Structure 1
Amino acid sequence: MRHPLPAAELFKAYDIRGIVDTVLTPTAVRAIGHAIGSEAAVRGQRAIAVGRDGRLSGPALAGALTAGIRAAGIDVIDIGCVPTPLTYFAAFELGCASCVSVTGSHNPPAYNGLKIVLDGRTLHGEAIQDLRRRIAEDDLVEGAGALRGADVRAAYLDRIVGDIELARPLKIVLDCGNGVAGAVAPELFRRLGCELVELFCEVDGRFPNHHPDPSRPENLQDVIRALRETDAELGLAFDGDGDRLGVVCKDGEIVFPDRQLMLFAADVLARVPGGEILYDVKCTRNLAPWIRAHGGRPTMWKTGHALLKAKLQETGAALAGEMSGHMFFKERWYGFDDGLYAGARLLEILSARADANAALKALPDATSTPELNLKMQEGEPFELVRRLREAALATPSCFAEAREVITLDGLRVEFAHGFGLARPSNTTPMVVLRFEADDAAALASIEAAFRRALDAVWPGLALPF
């Protein structure tokens, strides 16, 4: 059957995403589902597990997706309203190797989308664009797939509880931000032996308390307040679909994911000597020497959960992580990003220390900025970074004191006392910037160098630093 062609803007680098009932309509999702089912059929798949997060649009969009997949002759296993990691887990547990999570992740309530895994591989890049091509060319398989339900929640909880053992009980603040992690996280951490101070664990797709994105410090203020007002040792927070983790110390210090990765790397390398650890270009420059000091092999890679998962499969690395909070454990786990499991692994490590906070605060740190977003028009971020890269590689370079220019993903410039990063977002029209240095003076110097370089290649920008 021929479907109306969904808007091109839905087809992002790592997933399908858009504003509900504007571009992401049930009609569009049914067409995309038919394309997903057709691609699954070509890859020899017979069934796809479908889960959804707690957004209000989830049931209607999951229904449209299911109808589209079944129209290609592929069976659908409906696993209900669950965190995205449980949808990934279902692909293993149910033996179907393919799944789709209907989720808007950490985006505002008006958004929703699809994260797609076929035959064990997350679709990204050209594979995402090829879904739209299939719809445009009516290159679709026809059939009549079956529908059945399955509940993998108990198996998921049992799997983690059977893998994780805390050396002592911990009292923690647990903030689910009214995202779908609230349907699972409280039971998981209680079963692990934790006492909980629960914040916003009721699933509510309106997100009435704060936005479920723990990468933004403003969204962790409720955790910081609860730690101050209770005797909880530590705070954990999750994003809207539960695949990212935020960590807060007792004194309110936020332990950003690149420092979390240090703790995880040291733990994993104790059992996998010489193992490879992947991290994205936004991570601290303290990470590579830390990994080497613990007997591992550090590899910097491109930002994006799908890209890191693909690299993890390609290299056989034991662990990967990125600055946004996605952690991928291959050792003892399946290699997909899972904020709940990452939280459990963190508590396992810290419970073996007499002072959990001291262990976190002892991790190497630096003076740094959070991610800074320079908003531009569609297409402009890639052009800006292209110009900046050319200027950085030219002779003489626009960065006179640069020690190394890394063009793996955008532009990362290493200096003697820190680094600066500019990369185009693959999901929204903006340039992501981040700076790190040994001290405030060095940070100001690196920011000034980037300010001059950016002004030279694109005058008049309203820079966020």
Structure 2
Amino acid sequence: MTKFAKPNATIKANTAAYETTAVIDPNGFREYDARWQVFDQINLNGFFYLGLGLGTQMKRHHKDVPSPKVVVGHDYRSSSLSIKQAVMNGLMASGCTVFDIGLCLSPTVYFAQTHLDAQGLAMVTASHNDNGWSGVKMGLEPRLTHGPIQMAELRDIVLNADFEPATEGKGGSYQQRFDVREAYVKHLTDGVKLSNPYKVVLATGNGTAGLFAEDVFKAVGCDVIPLNTEMDYTYPHFNPNPENVAFMKALAAKVREENADLGLGFDGDGDRTGVADATGTFLYNDKLALILARFLAKHNPKATFVVDVKSTGLFMVDDVLTDTGAEVIYWKTGHSHIKRKVAEENALAGFEKSGPFFFNQPASSATPKGDLYDDGLAGGLMLLRAMDNQQKSVQELMAELPETYQAPTYHPACPDEKKYGVVDHMVEHFKKAFKAGKQVGGQDIKDLITVNGVRLVLADGTWGLVRASSNVPSLVVTGESPASEASLDAVMVDLQTTLKNEADIADFI
């Protein structure tokens, strides 16, 4: 059996050693996927190791399957195709059967896992990260992607070169399944026909969603106006990310110019949605999530919804959700965390403030039928269905929600190797403050939510959050107040002051 050397994190490019060694920065193994700056923190040999490690992990979890089937796809970046080839080579070297579905979205891979009856998946993407990044989203269970336990297991396999390669004559195999694209579009649009021909601007920032979005929304009856939907992996205008201000400003301007009903923006791998209304106003995704939860709850009494800890506090006091007997669970941010919690609770839907929405049913239905993955296109379709069903614009639906004051999402820099320790320290700091009856932002602390960092809820419902980013070397700080802008400002300033004093974090507000 081939003996593999352990990977190295220090070898530099343009050396002979770089060509013959697997270079992998251990910090690239994150909470629920793997991401690196290519080809500085990882090389193609490193991605081969990642594929071989994932294949080894698949075999250990599916001992009764001689050659586990793995769906593999890639997004539109200059490095993605070569990285995918390296990952597939590693998977086949382990003895897996690879289904290559080509250039696609992350939700296309999630769909294909069920469609092709595969045990696992690997999607080469850096999602919404800037150019220069790449990585892999992975899964070895139906409808679920790797969480912290699976990522730690994979990291140990790869960094220790603890591989189980196939023996001679018993290697893996390759099948090209580019036909999945058509099946995925049909799955999204079957049975969906809007009664109004909504004029919709679709912005994809020259990323992969441009290959899918127009076909999907035209199929349900929309009058589509494309914006930067041509493929260009240099991203000449801005990074395709609905949290990117320049991206959303361009979308809003196009909505106003075209007198459109709605603007939908999608990130680089199509799992996040951003929305601008007919006036060109950006809409917070957690408020959109509440609109969708209200719509779904009316059709499904006593439904359960999972929302991430960055989301609005209105979920807990909403009259429609209360009247329908809905339960709302605040949970950890991250696509894998929300997916798993939705599955565990058999929830109707899950929502993240950054844009991923998870529906436990296809977009053509308002009742559960078993789909479960984050899909930006499905999120846009569900919003249009909510508008169409109630014959209201998104502005009218938003106007039905109580007003709150929301802070931007700040990302103060903090090294990967320090950020979780900083957050642990903040959790303990505010637990002690809560126990001692100390005030934050001039108010008593009413509650602490510590499933993902610390979310402190104050007496008037104002809240602030500190958590570690799962994807980049930074913290995440945000907040909201149903009472006043002054209450919001007070809690945000106190959070910044505490971070500066306790963890030497620079000003970010």
Which one is further off, 283-292 or 357-366? 357-366
Is the contact between residue 70 and residue 121 of structure 2 (CA under 8 Å) also seen in structure 1?
A: yes
Match of 2:125 in 1: 103
The one of 361, 367, 383 aligned to 2:421: 383
Distance 1:392 1:142 in 2: 49
Find the partner of 1:171 among 199, 203, 209: 199
How far did residue 268 of structure 1 move?
Answer: 1.7
SS at match of 2:240: coil
CA contact 1:177–1:209 (8 Å) conserved in 2: yes
Residues 101 and 36 of structure 1: is their aligned pair in 2 closer, same or farther, counting only changes over 3 Å?
A: same
Residue in 1 aligned with 2:113?
91
Match among 388, 393, 397 for residue 351 of structure 1:
388
Q: Select 2:148's aligned residue among 101, 113, 125.
A: 125
Q: Does 1:263 align with 2:291?
A: yes
What number of residue pairs does the alignment pair up?
A: 464
- Alpha-carbon distance between aligned partners in 1 of 2:240 and 2:502, rounded to the nearest angstrom: 36
Question: What is the CA distance between 1:456 and its match in structure 2?
Answer: 3.9
State the shift of 1:379 in Å.
3.0
- Residue deviations 1:313-336 (CA, integer Å, cap 9, x gap): 111111001111111000335110
Contact 1:32/1:65 (8 A) holds in 2 = yes
State which drifts further: 181-190 or 159-168: 159-168
**Candidates 146, 152, 157, aligned match of 2:173:** 146
Residue in structure 1 matching 2:472, options 422, 428, 435:
428
Residue 12 of structure 2 corresponds to which residue in structure 1? none
**Unaligned 5+ runs, structure 2:** 8-23, 363-369
Residue 206 of structure 1 aligns to a residue whose secondary structure is coil
Counterpart-to-counterpart distance in 2, 1:137 and 1:458: 33
Distance 2:503 2:28 in 1: 28
User: Do 1:86 and 1:156's aligned partners in 2 also have CA atoms closer than 8 Å?
Assistant: yes
Q: Match of 2:286, SS?
A: helix
| 1:300 has 2:330 as partner | yes
Counterparts in 2 of 1:18 and 1:155: CA distance versus 1, 3 Å: same
Structure 1: which 4+ aligned runs deviate by more than 4 Å?
none
| Structure 1 residues 167 and 294: CA distance shift in structure 2, 3 A | farther
Q: For the Cα contact (< 8 Å) 1:392–1:398, is it kept in 2?
A: no
Name the stretch that deviates more: 355-364 or 112-121: 355-364
1:449 alignment partner AA: D
Determine the C-alpha separation between the residues in 2 that align with 1:450 and 1:63.
45
> Which runs of structure 2 are paired with 1:46-65 in the superposition (5 Å)?
46-65=68-87
Please report how far the alpha carbon of residue 398 of structure 1 lies from its aligned counterpart in structure 2 after TM superposition. Answer: 5.6
Normalising by structure 1, report the TM-score.
0.96
Among the aligned pairs, what percent are the same residue?
28
Partner of 1:40: 58
**Residue matched to 1:312:** 342
Where 1:122 maps in the other structure, the secondary structure is coil
Matched, 1:251 2:279: yes
Moved more, 345-354 or 25-34: 345-354
- RMSD of Structure 2 on Structure 1 (CA): 1.7
Q: Which amino acid in 1 is paired with 2:173?
A: A
Amino acid corresponding to residue 351 of structure 1 in structure 2: D
Residues 328-367 of structure 1 aligned to structure 2 (within 5 Å): 328-332=358-362, 334-356=371-393, 357-367=395-405
What are the Cα deviations for residues 132-157 of structure 1, in whole angstroms up to 9, with x where unaligned?
A: 32234443222211101112111111
- The 1:163/1:416 distance shift into structure 2, 3 A limit, reads farther
**Comparing 124-133 and 243-252, the one that deviates more:** 124-133
- Aligned letter for 2:137? K
**C-alpha distance in structure 1 between counterparts of 2:69 and 2:29, whole Å:** 23
Matches within 5 A, 1:448-459: 448-458=493-503
Aligned to 2:452: 409
Partner of 1:82: 104
Distance 1:274 1:146, change over 3 A: same
- Residue 397 in 1 paired to residue 438 in 2? yes
TM-score, with structure 2 as normaliser: 0.88
The residue type equivalent to 1:335 in the other structure is: L
The alpha-carbon deviation at position 158 of structure 1 amounts to: 1.2
Q: 1:64 to 1:451 in 2, by over 3 A?
A: closer
Bigger CA drift: 118-127 or 55-64? 118-127
Tell me the secondary structure at the aligned position of residue 402 of structure 1: strand
8 Å contact kept, 1:368–1:443: yes
Amino acid across the alignment from 1:9? N
Q: Decide whether aligned partners of structure 1 residues 215 and 361 sit closer, same or farther in structure 2, where only a CA change above 3 A counts.
A: farther
Offset, 1:4: 4.4
Give a deviation string over 1:365-420, Cα, whole Å, max 9, x none: 31111211111233332233223222212224363621112222111111133111
The correspondence for 2:232, drawn from 195, 198, 204, is 204
* Cα distance in 1 between the residues matched to 2:453 and 2:182: 42
**CA drift at 1:435:** 1.7
Q: For residue 491 of structure 2, what is the aligned residue in structure 1?
A: 446
1:179-206 deviation digits (Å, cap 9, x = unpaired): 1010011011111111111001112221
Q: Where do residues 182-197 of structure 1 align in structure 2 (5 Å cutoff)?
A: 182-197=210-225
